[in-house]
Amino acid sequence: MHLSREAIVEGLQRIVGPADVITDRRILVESSVDNFRKLQNIFDVHTMPVPAAIVMARSTEQVAAILRFAGEHTINVIPRTGGTATEGGLESAVPDSIIIDGSAMNRIVDIDAYDMQATCQCGVPLQALEDRVRELGLTTGHSPQSKPVAHMGGLVATRSIGQFSTLYGGIEDMVVGLEAVFPGGIVTRIKNVPRRAAGPDIRHVVIGNEGALCFITEVTVKLFPYFPENNVFLGYTLKDMKTGFEVLRAVMVNGYKPSVARVYDPGDAGLHFSHFAADDDCVLLFMAEGPAGIAKATADGIAAIVAGFAECTRVDSAYIETWFNDLCWGPDKITAEDERIRQTLNVNRTTEISADWSSINDIYQAARARIIAEIPDITMMGGHSSHSYINGTNMYFNYFFNVVGVGPEEETAKYYLPIIGIICEETLKRGGSIVHHHGMGKARAPWVRDEYGSSYYILETLKHAFDPEGIMNKGTIFPL
């Protein structure tokens, strides 16, 4: 039976106690959106259904009990940890949802420097884990820009990727095992092994599920030795993104594994590099890391490859190193950016896609040209490629527009969604993927069938099998 908001709150209070059920109206309203509709929070104009409650889970058992309760009464639940989602994954699509907040499950369970793996609860901020393992001369190798604010559960749930992915891979290359609770309160643990061939890799049912299949309570990730003293930085300016993609490809197919390999188009480069790059310059940069011999060989090899591209002009590596040291976004930068938006109504959005080497430049050029031509009030339309693979790379579109003539609540409809639409169309047309690392959320869910094609059968079957009542994060990955 459909429960009233009061009854939902009471039910949750019976499970976790009253102190851990948040019903403060203001907090609930702010929690009805994430960064996808961040303007609603910045201007305090809200249009989404207000969740019934936020429940602070403190143990796997509590999560199981909450999921059982939600299942019995078919209440939508939205898993949450760090709250940095950018694609609407945390948005309440239907009234009276429960947000299960795992941020209080923040214990680092074990750091094993011999077996080189660390186990932590879902609410451990990645920065906290990274700081702890650094004391042992180790690193997780994971460094998304949101490292100071995102938590391990959310990072696994969104299939996140960090700035050093070209060497360490995405989160899917790091997770060795985990614990997750499925609807009905079923607790499952995938053991930590180096590899196994005992059937399909079920980790991948959990990694990237965006809270639409299960709640992740604990994860175990790999650890790596950390040699910051060996880091070598390389930077170049060039005029053409096409050349930039060609250089990245040459580096990858020649077998080099820099930790960072990026090319910025002039618009995006202007935001970071105007103190050394001209305003029509692209900027290409690399970081090589690891044991001294490897770092040096990697940097030398890359330098030799780039030297073969006459268009590229080397810049002082100190520019790149200095930029690199100030990359991550803590809460202060996020709040400052919100304030900038509040004053100027100039909004910054990003959309990341991936494609093979043959298509990436075409997608970049076509999407960029169409957005400039079709969308009004654009103030910057650019982007960079920051994660490369042997067969292709990603494109991280970075764009700004002024919100003109509509209220903050209409920003997504007037600007953001049409831009996402263009990027998705141009990407799908050329066989790329519409989501490289932020997750589908609710923003790109409408394209899920086009993204998957005939393999949508597999995805949809997972949803039906694990979440038959459809209580897990309605509207995320699977459109309403």
Partner 1 sequence: MSAVRVLVCFKVTPDFEALREADWAAAATQGVQTRYVRRVLNCFDESALELALGLSDAAARLGVTVELGALSIGGREVDPYLKTLVALGYERAARVAAGADGDIADTDAAGVGVGAAAGAAGVDGAGLDRAASGLDFAPAVVASIIASYVLRADHSDLLVLGCRSGPGDGGTVPFRVAEALGWPCLTRVTSIEPLGDGRLRVGAMVDDGLLRVTLRPPCVLAVGNALVSHLRAPTLKDRLERRERRIDVLAAADLGLDIAAELRREACVPTALETIDRRRRGAVIAGATPRDKARTLFDSYLSDLIETL
Partner 2 sequence: MRFAALLDGTVATAAVQAQALAGFLGDGLRGDLAGETFVLYCDERDRERLVDLAPTRDVRLVKTAARRPERMFDCLTAAARGGDTALFLAAAGATGTEIVTRLACRAGGGVLTDALTIEARPQRLVCRKNVYSNHLVGRFELRARPWCVTVDACWNDTRRSPSPSHTILSESDESGDAGRPGATTDTRATGATGAAPFADAELLEAPSSGDLAKSRFLVVAGYGAASREGTERIADAARRMGADFGVSRPVAMNAWAPMDRLMGVSGTRAAPALCIVAGASGAPALYWGIEKAGLIVAVNPDERAPIVANSDAALLDDAVAVLEELAEIVAGRRTHE
Ligand X SMILES: Cc1cc2nc3c(=O)[nH]c(=O)nc-3n(C[C@H](O)[C@H](O)[C@H](O)COP(=O)(O)OP(=O)(O)OC[C@H]3O[C@@H](n4cnc5c(N)ncnc54)[C@H](O)[C@@H]3O)c2cc1C
Judged by the rule CB under 8 A, the positions of this chain that interact with partner 2 are: 26, 131, 331-332, 335-336, 339
Nearest to 246 by CA among 167, 308, 296, 304: 308
State both tokens at 453: 């094609």
Near ligand X by CB under 6 A: residue from 142, 249, 368, 437 = 437
Beta-bridge partners for 263: 284, 385
Across 297-323, b (16+ Cβ under 10 Å) vs e yields ebbebbeebbeebebbeebebebbeeb
Under rule CB under 6 A, residue 78 binds ligand X: yes
Burial class of residue 78 (count of CB atoms within 10 Å of its CB; 0-12, 13-18, 19+): buried
Tokens at 44, concatenated: 């305090």
**Between 60-72 and 5-16, two packed helices, what is the crossing angle to 10 degrees?**
150
Closer CB to partner 1, 322 or 358, in the complex: 322
How big is the chain by its Cα radius of gyration, in Å? Answer: 22
309 membership: H or E segment, kind and range: none
Q: How far is the CB of 153 from ligand X (least distance, A)?
A: 3
- 474 binds, options ligand X, partner 1, partner 2, none, Cβ within 5 to 8 A by partner type: none
- Cβ pair 178, 220 in contact under 8 A: yes
Between residues 240 and 338, which has the closer beta carbon with respect to partner 2?
Answer: 338
Site string for ligand X, 335-374 (x = CB under 6 A): ----------------------------------------
Place of tokens 């403060």: 24
Work out whether 476 is an interface residue with ligand X (CB under 6 A).
Answer: yes
Residues 233, 270: contact at Cβ < 8 Å? no
Q: Which is nearer to partner 1, 47 or 274 (CB)?
A: 274
- Token reading at 75: 């209440």
Q: Which residue sits closest to ligand X, CB atoms considered?
A: 154
Window contacting ligand X (CB under 6 A); options: 48-56, 68-76, 153-161, 341-349: 153-161
DSSP 400: E
Confirm or reject binding of residue 54 to ligand X (CB under 6 A): no
Minimum gap (Å) between residue 34 Cβ and partner 2: 16
Residue choice 346, 409, 433, 469 for contact with partner 1 (CB under 8 A): 346
Q: Which is nearer to ligand X, 315 or 437 (CB)?
A: 437
Is-contact 132 119, C-beta < 8 A?
no
CB of 287 to partner 1, least distance (A): 15
Report the residue number, 234 or 341, with the smaller CB distance to partner 2: 341
Among 426, 424, 404, 425, smallest CA distance to 415 is for 404
Q: Does 216 bind ligand X (CB under 6 A)?
A: yes
Read off the amino acid at residue 50: V
455: tokens are 């393999």
Tally helices (H) and strands (E) across the chain.
18, 18
**By CB under 8 A, what part of segment 289-328 binds partner 1?**
316, 318-319, 321-323, 325-326
26 is a site residue for partner 1 (CB under 8 A): no
Of the candidate spans 148-156, 227-235, 252-260, 443-451, the one that interacts with ligand X by CB under 6 A turns out to be 148-156
Kind and range of the H or E element at 73? none
Residue type, 366: A
Would you count residue 155 as binding ligand X (CB under 6 A)?
yes
Rounded-to-integer distance, Cα 151 and Cα 242, Å: 36
Q: Does 338 bind partner 1 (CB under 8 A)?
A: no
DSSP-derived letter for residue 3 is P
- Can you give the binding site for ligand X, defined by CB under 6 A? 35, 78-86, 89-90, 102, 122, 144-146, 150-151, 153-155, 157-158, 160-161, 210-211, 215-216, 329, 334, 437-439, 473, 476
Interface with partner 1 (CB under 8 A): 270, 272-275, 279, 316, 318-319, 321-323, 325-326, 339-340, 343-344, 346, 372, 376-381, 400-402
